[in-house]
Amino acid sequence: MIGIIPAIDVIDGKCVRLSQGDYQQKTVYNEDPLEVAKWIEDCGIRRLHLVDLDGAKASRIINHKALEKIATHTSLVIDFGGGLKSDDDLRIAFECGASMVTGGSIAVKDPEVFESWIGRYGKDKIILGADCRNEKVSVSGWTEDSTEEIVPFIRKWREKGIENVICTDISKDGMMQGPSLQLYRKIASEIPGVHLIASGGVSCDKDINLLDEAGIPEVIVGKAMYEGKIKL
């Protein structure tokens, strides 16, 4: 059965959602991410995907206090991402309570550093963030498109030891028009052994069931959860 991972995205210390990664299309759902995290935990969920959107834009960790509050006051297993570019960023994230961290832009712009993190912390602690637009990897909080094709990009890092991959189709994110099933099937079929976490576009239980039928092991849910389209 597919695993459900709720997402909390943070800007200015608040729980928000963007549409298609556009910082100008921002909806604030709660002033306090900890309240949302406690609600998620009360629903029986164990995992949380926490994203520092300010950090993603600034290329350094910013909202680590939100991470620390959630880690201190809940028992959620948190994977944290957004702006992690240095060893110091990673140290802060783990010290503030992250169980895992997600690196995306760093894997494109500074692959040697990202590879060193895999060796130092292990494949269970490091997740590859493979965010794409038109199957091209996007970086810097989705504000830049690279020339890297998504499937070869994931395959390269799978060969370097990565197992867990969060793949977000940016064109679907926050739109609640359904996930990129074709893309996820392609990745799963072409890269054996990858643990694929689908993200973006999930609008209802049917979407989750379709991902489950496609053999996708986990899915991140965001806007549909906040707007009551999916009941945790």
What amino acid positions are annotated as catalytic residues? Answer: 9, 131
Six-digit token string for 223:
């806007």
Give the residue carrying structure tokens 């959620």. Answer: 76
Place of tokens 């609008």: 203
Distance CA(22)–CA(155), nearest Å, equals 28
Residue 178 contacts residue 184 (beta carbons within 8 Å): no
Torsion of CA 153, 122, 7, 25, to 10 degrees: -40
DSSP for 117-142, written as a single string: HHHHH-TTTEEEEEEEETTEEEETTT
Residue 118: Cβ within 10 Å count: 19
